[in-house]
Amino acid sequence: MKHIVFLEQYGSLGGGQQVLLELVRAALHTGFQATVLIPKGPCVDRLRALGAQAIVVPECRLSQGEKNIADIFRFAWYGCRTFLRHISLLRHADLIYVNGNRLSPVAMLAQLMLGRKAAYHIHLNHGGLERKLFLLALRLKSTRALVLPSEFIRRELLAADVRFDDPRVQVVPNGLDARFSDIPFQDRFTGRPLQHIGIVGRVSPEKGQDVLIPLAKHFPQLQFHVLGDAAFSSEDYYERLKREAPENIHFHGWVDDLPAKVNEIGLQVCLVPSRCPPESPERSFEAAPLVPLQMTALSCLVIVRKLGALEDVAQELRLETFEQDEELKIILSKLQLFPASKLAKICHDNYSTCLLGYKNYHFLENLQILLGKNSEE
């Protein structure tokens, strides 16, 4: 039985980790043995429930934003230490699959010193330092694939460096996991006024939850919801939001069962107001957002900022878009005037388009092909 060792940089359950769970599911369905090196967190139990071996490793903690020389040394030392601690496991891997870039040195050392094959999966629109790391990976003949989640990222990489024009750079679009693929359409507007609006995902400045504060003050009759928790050193931002929020903003923390929570709240509209991070005002990190897909599949009306890969998803699913925060007041005012039947039809059309292109079995099939092809001799 072939053995794939996955290297995961976070133990949380963000978008990248949801893709990891689908990768592991695809590996197990294909008949591979799957082992995951991963920091402590809720993703560990999910992996073990699937039947994978999950080995807990320390997390590589780096500064938020632009990295300094200390981060570079910490990154390199972490990679060397993790490689040496797990060298016997890595030595017998048929493929090492890196999910996120913080464990890239572990795979590169295994390629150089043990002759192993590796694949690298990118989830964000990274900047210069990370791009140099990906180019270094492509210089190694034993690198089988650099996996991108969207054509947007391919365009960004090619614009930055023509060396990314390599047949090993493969686009495998994200898809819905099983939780969202088989839920029938639910009319969230007929018989009820527009009342519940929310933002789903990790709480951080670049995800834009702060747009809810002026909206909640402007629409005191509406209820606004934050579904998600702080991550990656964003605790101060989360606490500030809770201090400044009026009473009609509700904080639900981490949500394990999103479909059930959406139904419990009666959520009707989901905003995706992601923005460029302060340290990189010209570059969106949004490479292949999952939240618009998931919330569209849950029959919500989804409104996204025209930014990065969000704009591509919005065009494909025909979602409402905005550019400036101030536009949200106009959009919500307009939606309040729409008849429920029109809002329900918009949601149903978006739902049908989403499931047609992103249903779980399509995603799983693409991942199985990816893993099978890149683990071959």
- Which residues on neighbouring strands pair with residue 225, listed in sequence order? 198, 250
Tens of pLDDT, residue by residue over 313-334, are 999 999 999 999 999 999 999 9
Tokens of 290: 């999952």
- Amino acid at site 154: R
> What value does the mean pLDDT take over residues 53-81?
78
Q: Coil, strand, or helix at residue 37? A: strand
Residue 170 β-bridge partners: 147
Q: What is the pLDDT of residues 2-17, one digit of tens each?
A: 999 999 988 888 888 9
Among candidates 372, 371, 359, 373, which has minimal Cα distance to 173?
359
Answer yes or no: is pLDDT of 231 > 90.
no
Q: Indicate the range of 46-55, 71-80, 168-177, 202-211 predicted with least confidence.
A: 71-80
From 10-19, 226-235, 349-358, the region with the lowest mean pLDDT: 226-235
Give the three-state DSSP class for 126.
coil
Report d(CA 321, CA 118) in Å as an integer.
38
Position 116, amino acid: R
Our measurement of the distance from residue 251's CA atom to the centroid of its chain's CA atoms, rounded to an integer in Å, reads 21
Look at residue 67 in the predicted model and tell me its pLDDT: 63
Looking at 31-45, 116-130, 174-188, which range is the least confident one? 116-130
Q: Yes or no: say if 118 and 142 are a contact pair by the CB < 8 Å rule.
A: yes
The average pLDDT across 69-81 equals: 80
pLDDT digit string, tens, across residues 136-163: 999 999 999 999 988 888 998 998 899 9
Cβ-in-10-Å burial (0-12, 13-18, 19+) of 85 comes to middle
Angle between helices 69-85 and 104-114 (to 10 degrees): 50
pLDDT of residue 78: 82
Angle at CA 192, nearest 5°, toward 190 and 195?
125
Q: Who's near 180: CB < 8 A, 6+ residues apart?
A: 259, 293, 294, 297, 298, 360
Burial class from Cβ neighbours inside 10 Å (0-12, 13-18, 19+) for residue 149 reads buried
pLDDT at residue 63, rounded to an integer: 62
Q: Which residue has the higher pLDDT, 230 or 114?
A: 114
Rounded percentage of the chain residues whose pLDDT exceeds 90: 62
Rounded to 5 degrees, what are φ and ψ at 143?
-75, 115
pLDDT tens per residue across span 262-305? 999 999 999 999 987 655 645 556 777 889 999 999 999 999 99
Rounded alpha-carbon distances, angstroms, from residue 83 to 43, 237, 258: 21, 35, 36
Contact present, 7 and 107 (Cβ < 8 Å): yes
Tell me what the mean pLDDT of segment 187-213 comes to.
94
The structural domains of the chain, ordered by start, are 3-175+360-374 (3.40.50.2000), 179-358 (3.40.50.2000)
